[in-house]
Amino acid sequence: MVEFHTVIDKLKDIISERDLSKKIFDKDVASELGIPQTTFATMKKRNSIPYEEILNFCALKKISVNWLFFDQAVDMLIEETNKFFQIRYFADIRASAGGGAEVFDKNYETITLDEKIMHSMVGMGSTELEAIHVDGESMEPTLQDGSIVFIDRTQANINKDGVFVASTTAGLFIKRIRQRADGMVELISDNKNYSPEVLAPDEVTIVGKVVGNIESL
């Protein structure tokens, strides 16, 4: 169990680095955390650690939370972090398997997946991925409506077989893509109830290849 006084003593050491000649007291820590002194004293008595305020403090000071609470060294954190994939997840974006859909923007969150799980889905080649939702049924049974797909932007060669995300004037599409001999681009659905769509080359930009997916429940 993490003790209040252990964490606070570390915070005092951090705060004192600004002025080594000054002794740091509880009131100074309370002030740095934005907590009234009386509230801070009560929390200390109850061994109730102000996690939210400390996390904000660490974020501003760029201090490792793992080091502060658990004495984990930076090298250890790097080693552990390398066991996971950080994926940009665009929760509000639907790439359409039917009609047009939204384009990519800057509003995303980061999701973390264990490397073993990630490799089981997408193989060993992809390390920087983005995730969006499928909207529509035209890629069934390969991709279900509502499932999450992982996109590798480094793979944009449509001459290699696979499913791609394409940005068009009508929005984002998830399709198999083929360039015809006349230069026109076909967006092909796996669901045979949907006919191929044909676009001019300047109307299509390949975002990346779909390298894995998680089906909706």
Structural contact between residues 153 and 132, judged by C-beta atoms closer than 8 angstroms: no
Single pTM value for the model = 0.54
Q: How far apart are alpha carbons 187 and 199 in whole angstroms? A: 8
At 29 the pLDDT is 93
Q: Is the peptide bond before 141 cis (omega within 30 degrees of 0)?
A: yes
What is the domain count for the chain?
Answer: 2
Residue 89 lies in domain: 84-214
- Looking at 79, 96, 125, the residue that finishes a domain is 79
At 62 the pLDDT is 76
Residues 71 and 91 in one domain: no
Least confident of 12-26, 47-61, 90-104, 150-164: 90-104
pLDDT for 49-66, tens place per residue?
888 888 888 878 777 776
User: What CATH code is carried by the domain that includes residue 169?
Assistant: 2.10.109.10
- Looking at 42, 64, 79, the residue that finishes a domain is 79
Q: How far apart are alpha carbons 6 and 51 in whole angstroms? A: 13
Residues 45 and 115 in one domain: no
Residues 18 and 47 in one domain: yes
Residues 75 and 91 in one domain: no
